Chains A and B, each alone.
Chain A
């Protein structure tokens, strides 16, 4: 169906819903690269005005990618919960924005609404929202998940400890893990991006983290961020797998290019649940996403990258993950050109994921060919802290020496926790107190050479090649 808007003497026409969504998207290089962005600033606002008039119910009738062609569309449609949708079923996109901002719309309403929302509805409303709207509404939503600790509680911000090493050297990785733990990081997960997808090498890293977590009785979980099929091989061999990782995208074609489909993820989740390694809850999946992945796989169907990103969240929520991480600036300036675009995208992704009921974290990051620097990351980090983001990354000195990009550091987590009064996950906080890493005021305590972790660190390092 075509959409039109009269602005003075000019008529703007948009051939279908996906085109209207694309033209209404705040400016970003990836949509220009795909040839779907608005041609002028005025056309963009015209599209936003027209989009604001579209009834939410329209999104149940007009698909951006056909049902017959795409299993992600089928998942979205088949799982739609009509009773949950009822409170907003009569609203337009513009009215929905106001409903979300209303004083009376609270956490419990948003939690109940989540199964009634589709990614396209959420993407649509985000496109007409300002940055402050995205922060305010996301801040109302709490998504709490559990494995060996509790992530996402109000007033808490967790950190993924990311101890990558360019050759997966176990001693090098152990050194970064100890550094991160001594800075109070690692409550979301200790998660390694391996340099190789080889199952034996991944298993060695799994055993290294398992030893450290068991020896120091750390209430957290580990993950090697390798392809789901590699993790499944490791589980078959009895390796200590806590969380199953996978990158996700919002179209079936892009997921095919990642070598995955929904049934494979179902099977992996069942295997991980069968290991019974969690103590508090059954959230065993860790997913990563990022705007632009469908376009880079040439699988975007003429849609804008932010709508497709929201569709990836529909895939994620099918599997009740512990963590969903939007790796916002990793993909490069051809998708998000500068700090302004990265900041906007980070807020959109966090908002859309939270509204769909996901435990959203964000890798606040950029590459060296993007028009961005650490000051831009400080801004996004602060905004996400205010918006109630579940977790961020902790990379030594913010410099990932394996993936060659910049993220947030262990020190950054102290900045944001200190400035906004945020605490680690409660079980992990207790551990930090017990280990005399944090004071009761959650300040870093002086750590001497004889600290248990360093003596133990000696153990971890000594066993590094086992």
Chain B
């Protein structure tokens, strides 16, 4: 019943779903269910309930003492429809941060969020921080407490950093899951953060996951970029990325399933 394709060798050249074979003109059962599995994993990653306390527990074992904050998005459905809510802190969060603000502000504030993939935040943020924090401490960076922000979007780190008068503000958050990459983390930072900064003022390291840019590599890249940002006194399109010792992270993801 299934007619296999004679050109399966072409699969060596791409991760695209080619040479799937057919039943009549339709997909055979195997590829149909493989696709459904990949989509199910991506959906689970988007919808998974984020447990900040669970992540906080793991981070405490590393010696951090994270503080949990909320964005203006009260739940997952609102978060997905209102990106503007995810870019702003809740009133409670703002008060918590104001109470923690000191002068002079820290060199850097780091926060973790579920973003669009709780799975990414749970899987990648701990190994990344394990590799990043010792490097920063060895260089004498003064760090703010670590924050976990529920339902955040890129840009919220500018408000957090602004309230704390931080020199730099870094957020690690789950990226929009692809079919082959439900667990990909992104890292975005801003120099002299404050609300109103645009994408052009931010730098990004993306595709952080074992099959993409592994967390240990991402930590080295972020350490170099943050150091350069502090030295050059800027972030965004003007920052010279001279971190050329790293491999290209743009290799195609393997097929799931």
A interface with B by C-beta (< 8 Å): 29, 32-33, 163-167, 169, 171-176, 178-179, 182, 195, 332-334, 337, 367-369, 373-374, 396-399, 401, 404, 406, 409, 411, 414-415, 417-418, 443-444, 446-449, 451, 454, 457, 461
- Given contacts A165-B14, A172-B14, A401-B15, is CB(A178)–CB(B7) below 8 Å? yes
B176 near A444: Cβ-Cβ < 8 Å: no
> Across the interface, which residues of A come within 8 angstroms of B81, CB to CB?
29, 32-33, 333-334, 337
Contacts of A32 in B (CB 8 A): 81
Count of residues in B whose CB is under 8 Å from the partner chain: 44
Of A369, A411, A446, A461, the residue contacting B80 (CB under 8 A) is: A369
Starting from the known contacts A399-B38, A411-B20, A418-B25, 18 additional A-B residue pairs (CB-CB under 8 Å) come to A32-B81, A167-B251, A172-B15, A172-B16, A175-B14, A176-B18, A179-B18, A182-B7, A368-B43, A368-B45, A368-B178, A368-B179, A396-B14, A396-B17, A397-B27, A401-B253, A404-B178, A414-B24
What are the residues of chain A within 8 A of B181 when measuring CB–CB?
404
Q: Given A175-B16, A397-B16, A461-B13, decide whether A368 and B42 contact each other with a Cβ distance below 8 A.
A: yes
A447 to B31, CA, bound (A): 19
CB distance from B35 to the nearest CB of A (A): 6
Find chain B residues with CB under 8 A from A165 CB: 14, 16, 252
Contact of B6 among A163, A373, A448 (CB under 8 A): A448
Interface residues in B145-187 (C-beta closer than 8 Å to A): 176-181
- Shortest Cβ gap from B177 to chain A (Å): 5
Q: How far is the CA of A179 from the CA of B24 in the complex (A)?
A: 16
A456 to chain B, nearest CB (A): 12
Known: A165-B16, A411-B22. A369 touches B46 (CB 8 A): yes
* In the complex, residue of chain B having the shortest beta-carbon distance to the beta carbon of A369: B46
For the complex, give the distance between the alpha carbons of A180 and B176 in Å.
27
Q: List 15 A-B contacts (CB under 8 A).
A: A165-B16, A166-B250, A172-B13, A175-B13, A176-B14, A195-B250, A368-B45, A399-B38, A401-B14, A406-B179, A411-B26, A415-B25, A444-B25, A449-B6, A451-B6
Chain B residue at minimum C-beta to C-beta distance from A396: B16
CB atoms of B5 and A182 under 8 A apart:
yes
Complex: A404 Cα to B207 Cα, angstroms: 12
**Once the chains are docked, how many angstroms separate the CA of A174 from the CA of B5?**
16
Report B18-54 residues with CB < 8 Å from chain A CB: 18-20, 22, 24-27, 31, 35-36, 38-39, 42-43, 45-46
CA gap between A174 and B82 in the complex, in Å: 40
Is the beta-carbon distance between A449 and B27 smaller than 8 angstroms?
no
**Are A399 and B13 in contact, with the CB atoms below 8 A?**
no
The smallest beta-carbon distance between B148 and chain A, in angstroms, is 21
How far in angstroms is the closest Cβ of chain A from B174?
10
Most buried by B among A172, A399, A447: A399
Interface residues of B in 103-157 (CB under 8 A from A): 116
The 8 Å CB contact of A169, one of B13, B20, B178, is B13
Please give the distance in Å from B12's CB to the nearest CB on chain A.
8
